[in-house]
Amino acid sequence: MHLNGAIRRLMEIRSVNTALSSLALGFVMFAYASLFIPHERWRWSAEAIRKEQTQQEAARIDDAERDGDFESRAWSEVAALEANRPAWLITAANQGDINRMKQLIDEGVDVNAQNERGVTALISAASGLQHEAVSLLLSKGADPSKVTDQGFSAYDFAHNQNDEELARLLTKRR
């Protein structure tokens, strides 16, 4: 039993020494490279990698075009952008970007669309205390009774931030 423990301990020491040896070797290689390989050579290597990645991407696009998949992929990317348009309205409302909001609404973005957390553009505008954005959204048919996944309405956000003027505006439209 005593001999078995000694052998096990020797094996543990050997594995630690192996790990330390590997670490030391890695450090020595890095030091050598840093001291003796010119920086221009490092830059050339990085540029070669970037060039290879660009060529691979171009080949992938060529393959997609040849296989007829390019057009369907392009349309799926357009569809993904279209799906994000309500998120753009929500962001513009929070920032009070009236011109962007008008543009998106004129393009047909639903003013009552909710994101994955249930936030609408009206809730976002109220949470950002954007009076003009709230007025615009209400005039375009935004529903002040919509709530987030946690049950908060636009009124709740205005009221909890002590903006009674905005809270009254939202109460009138309930």
pLDDT at residue 36 is higher than 70: no
Bigger pLDDT: 104 vs 47: 104
Stretch 147-160: mean pLDDT:
92
pLDDT at residue 62 is higher than 90: no
Of the candidates 126, 52, 57, 60, which has an alpha carbon nearest to the alpha carbon of residue 96?
126
What is the reported pLDDT for 1?
A: 47
DSSP 8-state symbol, 63:
H
pLDDT at residue 93 is higher than 90: yes
Burial state string for 106-136 with b = 16 or more CB within 10 A and e = fewer than 16: eeebebeebbeeebbbbbbbbbbbbbebbbb
What is the reported pLDDT for 173?
A: 58
Stretch 42-63: mean pLDDT:
64
What is the reported pLDDT for 54?
A: 72
Bigger pLDDT: 56 vs 123: 123
Structure confidence by residue, pLDDT tens digits, 123-140:
999 999 999 999 999 999
Contacts of 91 (CB under 8 A, 6+ apart): 124
- Please report which confidence band the pLDDT of residue 153 belongs to, taking 50, 70 and 90 as the band edges: very high
Angstrom distances, CA of residue 118 to CA of 149, 151, 156, 170: 5, 9, 14, 18
Mean pLDDT of the residues in the chain: 77
